[in-house]
Structure 1
């Protein structure tokens, strides 16, 4: 504290205050942006107008990733492989419920889960109990 009473300490305090002010500013603020032609816009009104155009186009256009064909492609991987890999990667004590049981059962668990998931995939319906269930960690 004795340093703060000197001129050097006062300058240090102001430098610290300026640094904190810089750290607190929003660095995500965009002051310039390019229009559709690639011309740089620096005027605040034109920047806002360009953002408006961008989001109007974004929100009113169909997303290509969500467009689906008439038929979905079948799953190429074998379900049993997926189940084995998932059980292998599962960590004990992390999941809600008896997660260790599935690992202890070994191959019978893989067979049971494979039949269950194949049935769900074929029927294309999730069990109603899963929809109504609530997970509490």
Structure 2
């Protein structure tokens, strides 16, 4: 991957580019190379989706299938005897599911929690988690005066207002001295070694942002990525203008 990225970027002249333009070139080349070098996978979200839980085994699957078939037969015939069969199958399926879940949680206690393999531990616990109640967004939030809001548009507007105030604090009443930017010649430039140290300390195994680029992807590009990112940060520092991608984030309420 490093070779492909290096070949595509080595002839690009960034001397006349802004920080936004330089970042765009780097992002496009990196994401295109990632798309070719790495495959992506998706999960089926239709009715045929297999539940990603340890308690969903063949026994549970057959019990649920039998219950559904007897239900359809009763709906079609409307006979009392078919209804009794359906009720018994439903009761039996609940018993089997409950037993399977209990066994799954007993096995969960045998997982070795190790700080060296946090992802494996998380995946093991996640696979055994009971998902009887799916996550749902809050239906009520409070406004600035602590009054409840229940309408969808009002909730969205309140979230926008909250984050606007959070990331754009007012200077009124602030007794601290305000930041006074200096001229570029008075400021030390961002060093390559500083960026290398920052990349070394960056967390791994984290979800990518809007740009789709992770720490691992940058590290996979080696010195080429370090060189380009150093140039980009230096341009940002001189221009005092951050690329649009860096100002956007995905917020899950």
Q: TM-score range by the shorter chain?
A: 0.3 to 0.5
- Higher Cα Rg, which structure: 1
TM-score, normalising length: structure 1:
0.43
TM-score, normalising length: structure 2:
0.25
